[in-house]
A = this chain, B = another copy of it.
């Protein structure tokens, strides 16, 4: 089996750096495709394709305005990702504590040694 489609879920869609840039850019306010092309210095077809992927997984929404199409980030769709990563927060906090404790233990040990030498 090959790798899962980029349109299979938000995780796969945001794996691509350009798509993450597009999401950041479109989070502030809706923009036509041409603006993205200029702002991110990408080829227009490339932008359209990335937008297609992002739309398929619900990460952006679009509305037509004349001959332009205005896209905006649907932040809500990024939430599951945030929550998944958040599950690990208590673990990295714990790991940091362990590092800190080890450092403190080392300091205490060094101090004891110094005291001995002084006496």
Contacts and interface: CB of A to CB of B under 8 A. Distances in A.
Interface string A1-41: 00110100001101111001001100100000000000000
| A interface residue count range (under 10 / 10 to 19 / 20 to 34 / 35 or more) | 20 to 34
- The A interface, classified by DSSP as helix, strand, loop or mixed, is helix
Contacts of A91: 27, 73, 75
Interface stretch (A62-70, A82-90, A106-114): A82-90
A118 interface: no
A23 to B, nearest CB: 8
- Please state the number of chain copies in the assembly: 2
A23 B91 CA distance: 11
Contact of A78 (B17, B27, B75, B92): B92
A82 B76 CA distance: 15
A26 to B, nearest CB: 10
Given A78-B85, A82-B86, 14 more contacts: A3-B15, A11-B15, A12-B15, A27-B87, A27-B88, A73-B91, A74-B95, A75-B89, A75-B91, A75-B92, A78-B88, A78-B92, A79-B85, A81-B81
